[in-house]
Amino acid sequence: MLDQVISVLCRIWRRACEPRAVFWLAPIVFIWLAFTAWMRPLHIPDEGRYVGVAWDMVRFDSTWTPLLNGLPYFHKPPLFYWLNEFSFLLFGAHEWAARFPSLVVGWATAMALFLFVRRHRGPQIGLASLLVLVTMPYFFGASQYANLDMMVAGMICLTIMAGAEAVSRLYQGQPGARVFAVSTGVLAALAVLSKGLIGVVLPGGVLFFWILLTGRWRGLALLLSWPVWVGFAVVGVPWFAAMEFEYSGFLHYFFVYQHFERFVSSGFNQQQPFWFFIPVILGFGLPWSIWLVRYLWQRGPMQFDRSWHGLMLLWIGVITVFFSIPASKLIGYAVPVLPALAVLIAEVMVSTWKGWFDGRDLRLSAITGMGAVAMCIGALVGFMFANDHSTESAVRTMEPEIRPDDRFVMVDIYPFDLAFYTRNPYQTWVVFDWPNLPDGDTWRNELDEAGEFAPLLTQDALLEPGQVLPRMCQGPDRTYWFGARPEVGATMPWVVAQDVFYEKRNGETFWKVPVDAQFREQWCKEEDIEKQEDTANTQERPMVRS
pLDDT category at 263 given cuts 50, 70, 90 is low
Q: Residues near 92 by Cβ (< 8 Å), separated by ≥ 6? A: none
3-state DSSP assignment of residue 167: helix
Q: Which helix (H) or strand (E) holds 509?
A: strand 509-515
Q: Which helix (H) or strand (E) holds 348?
A: helix 338-351
pLDDT category at 543 given cuts 50, 70, 90 is very low
The 8-class DSSP code of residue 328 comes to B
pLDDT at 300 over 70: no
pLDDT at 302: 52
Q: Residues near 262 by Cβ (< 8 Å), separated by ≥ 6? A: 268, 326, 328
pLDDT at 541: 37
pLDDT at 411: 94
CA dist., res. 357 & res. 126, Å (int): 16
Most confident region among 113-122, 350-359, 497-506, 520-529 by mean pLDDT: 113-122
pLDDT at 178 over 70: yes
Mean pLDDT of the chain: 85
pLDDT at 107: 96
pLDDT at 362: 64
pLDDT at 37: 84
**What is the reported pTM?**
0.89
Q: Which helix (H) or strand (E) holds 542?
A: none
pLDDT at 531: 55
pLDDT digits (tens, 9 = 90+) for 381-407: 777 776 667 888 889 999 999 999 999
pLDDT at 269 over 90: no
pLDDT at 143 over 90: yes
Check: CB of residue 67 under 8 Å from CB of residue 57. yes
Q: Residues near 535 by Cβ (< 8 Å), separated by ≥ 6? A: 466, 491
For every residue of 385-404, which 3-state class applies, written as one string? HHCCCCCHHHHHHHHHHCCC
pLDDT at 180: 95
One-letter amino acid identity for 175? Answer: P
CA dist., res. 192 & res. 348, Å (int): 34
CA 82 → CA 66, 87, 148, 297, 373, distances in Å? 9, 9, 12, 46, 32
Q: Which helix (H) or strand (E) holds 211?
A: helix 198-214
pLDDT at 293 over 60: yes
Q: Which residues pair with 483 in a beta bridge?
A: 410, 510
Check: CB of residue 65 under 8 Å from CB of residue 57. yes
Q: Which residues pair with 68 in a beta bridge?
A: 71
Least confident of 153-157, 251-255, 283-287, 311-315: 283-287
pLDDT category at 309 given cuts 50, 70, 90 is confident
pLDDT at 235 over 50: yes
Q: What is the mean pLDDT of residues 201-209?
A: 95
Question: Which is it for strands 429-431 and 462-463: parallel, antiparallel or unpaired?
Answer: parallel
- What are the φ and ψ backbone dihedral angles of 481, each rounded to 5 degrees? -100, 115
pLDDT category at 540 given cuts 50, 70, 90 is very low
Q: What is the mean pLDDT of residues 68-92?
A: 93
Provide the sign of the torsion angle of the four alpha carbons 18, 22, 24, 28, taken in this order.
positive
CA dist., res. 159 & res. 193, Å (int): 13
pLDDT at 527 over 60: no
pLDDT at 152 over 70: yes
pLDDT digits (tens, 9 = 90+) for 5-62: 666 666 666 676 667 777 888 999 999 999 888 888 898 888 999 999 999 999 999 9
CA dist., res. 460 & res. 71, Å (int): 10
pLDDT at 381: 77
Taking the CA of residue 43 as centre, how many other CA atoms within 13 Å lie in the half-sphere pointing to its CB? 19
- What are the φ and ψ backbone dihedral angles of 480, each rounded to 5 degrees? -115, 130
423 Rama class: left (phi>0) / alpha (psi -120 to 50) / beta: left
pLDDT at 130: 94
Greatest CA separation for the chain: 89
